[in-house]
Structure 1
Amino acid sequence: MKLRHEGSEIFIPDGIEEEKAFSRTTHLGIGAHPDDLEIMAYDGILRCFKNPGAWFFGIVVTDGAGSPRDSFYKNYSNEEMKVVRRQEQKKAAIVGEYSGVAFLNYASSEVKDPKVVSVREDLKDLLQAIRPRIIYTHNLADYHDTHVAVALRTIQALRELPPESRPEKLYGCEVWRDLDWLIDRDKVSFDVSAHQNLATALISVYDSQVAGGKGYDLATIGRRRAHATYYASHQVDVSTSMIFAMDLTPLIADDRLDIVDYVQGFIDRFASDVRQRLQQLL
């Protein structure tokens, strides 16, 4: 497949033909940066790991140039960081036995600009070729602008596909804002207790981030453990690791739904829940 941006690439860890790597994929993650897939889409990675009937494919939309850096990486230029972060993502794909990873190589500013239609077109081409059953992307209440932009471009691309080419489920997952605030009936929970060694390894591959000043390895695993324990106040733990998500499927099942109003609905239901509890106890 020919992607539009200079420096874009499709990486297939096991070297199989691109078309076969696409067709065997069942679970797809669409993240803004290298390492976002391993943080937010681990449910899909885990479901496909060592599973001959399921394969995970990742799409990394940006080039990863603007990340903070320290230690060995303190004096790395943006161009050098792009190379390092792509290599780290490839290592994660090998460790996690992904079907493949597509690097779209856009700058964050391009992804955030609605006028740069090539972002949406690249996503649309890949979605049409891969046709996964399940897609994980960023949640629409994330506070990182590039993450929200990637989720929006994903929804826009999916809405341009015929209904039969759309996935069964689209989930918005956690990176730069937890989703434990969602009320219970709105909260999608993924039990990711299995293979904690794999979960840790996938995050730890990103040495430029972990050693470079961001403790994603401990924070990501810790957040999942906290979610599992605080999931239910009056029950024993049913999981040791949990990821929360926002169900975005209605936005691609009904193109008439307003995206802003849809997300505001989650916030309004949370606000109502807090208000009602306070009023009952006053």
Structure 2
Amino acid sequence: MKLHQPNADVCIPDGSPMSEALARTTHLAIGAHQDDLEFFAYHGIEACYASKENWFTGITCTDGAGSSRTGLYSDVTDEEMQHIRTEEQRKAASVGEYSAMIQLGMPSSAIKDSSNTSCIEDLVSILSQARPETVYLHNPADKHDTHIAVTLRSIEALRRLPIDQRPKQIWGCEIWRGLDWLIDEDKGLLATSARPNLQVALNGIFKSQIQGGKRYDLAVMGRRLANATFFDSHAADSETGFTWAMDLSPLVHDENLDITDFTLGYVERLKLDIRNRIAKFSAI
């Protein structure tokens, strides 16, 4: 498999041939940056951990050059940061026992350029060999520009696959904008209670970001717990963590669906829910 960027990196933690690592993949996640997968796709990582039937493959699209840096990393160059973040992602793949970890090494600017098809072509090449049953993406209501661009390129890549090769389930998960605002009927409930030590270990690997000024490790765990606690006001917690997600499967299975209209449909249903709740108790 030939990828576009010369700095693209492929890691197979157990040393299997690339073709075998992709062929056994059941769960796959596509993220923008190193650490995104561990934060939004833990549901898939945990489903495959120590399993003989399920295998998780991760794809990180960008090169990590533009990340925040202070403290110990304040004087690190973009080139050095790319190497650091690539190695952190490799280590996470090893700790999480991934089937494969592929880093495309693309500049964010190239992925944001809708006329540049390199990212889409790389993704199609990987997906054609992996054929996962479940895919995790950023959600299209995220507020990070690069996350949105990666989501759009990913959906385009999935739509280019033959219909019988497209994943059954595609989740759009939360990072830069939580999905607590989705009405309950629209929430994809991805339980993240299992193996808390694995969660902490994976989150803590990305020291260049944590020590570089962002406590993602604490924030992600706090969000998962808050999601579980504030989900149902009248029932005891059934889980200690949830990641909320949008079901993006219709966007991949029906190419005629408009991504903007599909996403705004969630907003319209929230708007209606707010209106109805106020009307139910209003004396005005």
Partner of 2:92: 92
Could you tell me which residue of structure 2 aligns to residue 56 of structure 1? 56
Contiguous gaps of at least 5 residues in structure 1: none
- Using the TM superposition, give the Cα deviation of residue 41 of structure 1 relative to its aligned residue in structure 2, in angstroms: 0.4
* TM superposition shift of 1:253: 0.9
Tell me how large the CA RMSD over aligned residues is. Answer: 0.7
Distance 2:281 2:78 in 1: 54
Alpha-carbon distance between aligned partners in 2 of 1:191 and 1:165, rounded to the nearest angstrom: 26
> 1:135 corresponds to which letter in structure 2?
V
Deviations 1:96-132 (A, max 9, x none): 0000111111111111111111111111111101100
Q: Which residue does the alignment assign to 2:279?
A: 279
State the match for 2:182 in structure 1. Answer: 182
Q: Which runs of 4+ in 1 moved over 3 A?
A: none
Where does residue 36 of structure 1 map in the other structure?
36
1:146 aligns with 2:156: no
CA-to-aligned-CA distance 1:61-88 (integer Å, 9 cap, x gap): 0001111111110110111110000000
Residue 69 (str. 1) matches residue 69 (str. 2) = yes
How far the C-alpha of 1:10 sits from its partner, in A, is: 1.3
Aligned residues with identical type, % of pairs: 49
- The residue identity in structure 2 corresponding to 1:213 is G
Corresponding pairs, count? 282
- For 1:212, the aligned partner's letter is G
Aligned to 1:177, the other structure's residue is in SS state coil
Contact 1:21/1:100, CA 8 A, preserved across alignment: yes
Structure 2 Cα separation of the partners of residues 54 and 158 of structure 1: 21
One-letter amino acid of the structure 2 residue matched with residue 38 of structure 1: E
Q: Take 2:212 and 2:118, find their aligned partners in 1: how far apart are those partners?
A: 32
- What is residue 114 of structure 1 aligned with on the other side? 114
Matched with 1:137 is 137
**2: CA distance, partners of 1:125 / 1:222:** 36
Q: Which amino acid aligns with 2:39?
A: I
Q: Match of 2:46?
A: 46
Partner of 1:83: 83
| Counterpart residue type for residue 53 of structure 1 | E
The residue identity in structure 1 corresponding to 2:68 is: P
Give the aligned partner of residue 15 of structure 1. Answer: 15
Counterpart code for 2:181: W
Q: For residue 214 of structure 1, give the secondary structure of its aligned residue in structure 2.
A: coil
Query: Normalization by structure 2: what TM-score?
Result: 0.98
Partner of 2:193: 193
Cα distance in 2, alignment partners of residues 119 and 90 from structure 1: 20
What secondary structure does 1:50 align onto? coil
Cα-to-partner distance string for 1:148-177 (whole Å, 9 max, x where unaligned)? 111110110111111011001010001101
The answer to whether 1:125 aligns with 2:117 is no
Residue 6 (structure 1) shift: 2.0
- Which residue does 2:101 correspond to in 1? 101
How far off is 1:4 after superposition?
1.0
- SS of the aligned residue for 1:239 comes to coil
**Residue pair 1:3, 1:9 contacting (<8 A) in 2 also:** no
Structure 2 equivalent of residue 173 of structure 1: 173
Structure 2 unaligned segments of length 5 or more: list them: none
User: Counterparts of 1:175-254 in structure 2 under 5 Å?
Assistant: 175-254=175-254
Q: Deviations over 1:241-261 (max 9, x none)?
A: 111100000001111111110
What amino acid sits opposite 1:226 in the alignment? A
Q: Deviations over 1:128-150 (max 9, x none)?
A: 01100000010000000100111
Distance 1:221 1:165 in 2: 34
> How far apart, in 2, do the equivalents of 1:180 and 1:65 lie?
30
